[in-house]
């Protein structure tokens, strides 16, 4: 294992860690960030040329409880607005998909 001396520290490029030169104590370690993954599950065509996308979000850093519960995200495809107005017909279409997701 090759380490480089930087001032009063050693740097290990394999583990991306810094160690004290005197006692070898770990001073800092940079870890890669685990990012969330968004997977499209369903696309819902709504009235008035609007489209909703239901996505499942996963992240390896989450607790087992959160992973088991499942996290979902609903967004307007074009994102022209932050919110979206739904008609009764739109709500019916969305309810079918949300029921299907909740029963998985």
Give residue limits of the domains in the chain: 1-31, 37-102
Average pLDDT over residues 9-14: 87
What integer is the mean pLDDT of 13-33?
85
Q: How confident is the model at residue 1 (pLDDT cuts 50, 70, 90)?
A: low
What pLDDT, on the 0 to 100 scale, is given for residue 83? 56
For all residues of the chain together, what is the average pLDDT? 81
Instruction: Assess whether pLDDT exceeds 80 at residue 31.
Output: no
**Long-range CB contacts (within 8 A, 24+) of 92-101:** 93/44, 93/45, 93/46, 94/44, 94/52, 97/41, 97/42, 97/44, 97/54, 98/54, 101/41, 101/54, 101/70, 101/72
């Amino acid at each position: 294992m090759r380490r480089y001396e930087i001032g009063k520290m050693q740097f290990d490029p394999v583990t991306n860690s810094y160690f004290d030169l005197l006692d070898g104590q770990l001073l800092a370690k940079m870890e890669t960030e685990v990012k969330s993954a968004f997977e499209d599950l369903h696309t819902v065509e709504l009235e008035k040329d609007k489209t909703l996308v239901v996505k499942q979000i996963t992240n390896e850093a989450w607790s087992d409880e959160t992973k088991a519960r499942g996290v979902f995200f609903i967004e307007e495809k074009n994102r022209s607005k932050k919110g979206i107005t739904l008609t009764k017909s739109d709500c019916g279409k969305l309810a079918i998909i949300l029921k299907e997701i909740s029963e998985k």
